[in-house]
């Protein structure tokens, strides 16, 4: 009887330990998911702001070609939008560089944690989750890199127009910029499309992360 009681106590202790370990892993998953979701949402907000500013700046620029518009007030509005666009472009470039620099290191640390899991079934599931996150991160990073590259000709067009019109602001000088305005509009569309890709992938990943309570 004594042996039976001891065996029962040991079994109960082991069951309790397993339960605690499972709860610990669940908590870690929930915490990791919550942290990742927060970072994703912050990135999405940044992208949306850059994308919106690209649209505002392009629309402001195009108003200069509206027949009968007062050029000086519209040009001043365009310059204000351009200043904000410069600031948002820097944020986008810096974010892309930061993601490229730090992302792989973070995944390397995560991979070490996964490999340290003893239970083969749990390790396999963790490896699948890691691979899935790496794939999503690569999609987001590639879209951010595209937006960064597309910002270069966009900002170049905008600043070329500003420089020309600062030296002479007339209907004829504005007419001379029509080709560059069309180019800026096209490049701005490319920037917005890449940032939209980032936002859509973030929305997809965030919906998955929300499942981990």
How does pLDDT run across 113-147, given as a tens digit for each residue? Answer: 778 888 888 888 878 887 888 888 888 888 888 99
Interval 34-90: pLDDT, tens: 776 777 788 889 999 999 999 999 999 999 999 899 999 999 999 999 999 999 999
Among 100-114, 142-156, 198-212, which range has the highest average pLDDT?
142-156
Average pLDDT, the chain: 81
77 vs 98: which has the higher pLDDT: 77
Confidence of residue 32 (pLDDT cuts 50, 70, 90): low
- Phi and psi at residue 34, to the nearest 5°: -65, -40
Interval 147-180: pLDDT, tens: 999 999 999 999 999 999 999 999 999 999 999 9
Confidence of residue 29 (pLDDT cuts 50, 70, 90): low
Residue 58: CB atoms within 10 A of its CB come to 25
Token pair of 109, please? 């640390």
pTM of the prediction?
0.76
The secondary structure of 145-187 as a DSSP string is HHHHHHHHHHHHHHHHHHHHHHH--SHHHHHHTHHHHHHHHHH
Using the 8-state DSSP alphabet, how is residue 1 labeled? -
The secondary structure of 55-123 as a DSSP string is HHHHHHHHGGGSTT--HHHHHHHHHHHHHHHHHHHHHHHHHHHHHHHHHHHHHHHHHHHHHT---HHHH
Q: Are 74 and 64 in contact (CB under 8 A)?
A: yes
């Amino acid at each position: 009887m004594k042996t039976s009681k001891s065996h029962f106590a040991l079994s109960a202790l082991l069951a309790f330990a397993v339960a605690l370990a499972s709860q610990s892993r669940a908590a870690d998953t929930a915490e990791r998911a919550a942290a990742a979701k927060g970072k994703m949402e912050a990135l999405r907000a940044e992208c949306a702001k850059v994308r919106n500013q690209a649209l505002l700046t392009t629309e402001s620029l195009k108003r200069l070609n509206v027949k009968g518009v007062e050029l000086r007030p519209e040009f001043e509005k365009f310059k204000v939008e351009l200043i904000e666009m410069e600031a948002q472009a820097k944020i986008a470039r810096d974010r892309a560089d930061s993601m490229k620099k730090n992302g792989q290191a973070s995944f390397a640390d995560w991979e070490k944690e996964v490999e340290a899991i003893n239970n083969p079934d749990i390790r396999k599931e963790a490896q699948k989750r890691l691979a899935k996150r790496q794939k999503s991160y690569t999609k987001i990073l590639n879209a951010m890199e595209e937006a960064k590259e597309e910002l270069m000709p966009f900002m170049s067009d905008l600043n070329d127009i500003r420089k020309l019109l600062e030296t002479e602001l007339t209907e004829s000088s504005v007419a001379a910029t029509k080709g560059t305005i069309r180019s800026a509009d096209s490049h701005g569309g490319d920037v917005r499309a890449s940032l939209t890709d980032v936002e859509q992938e973030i929305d997809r990943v965030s919906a998955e992360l929300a499942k981990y309570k």
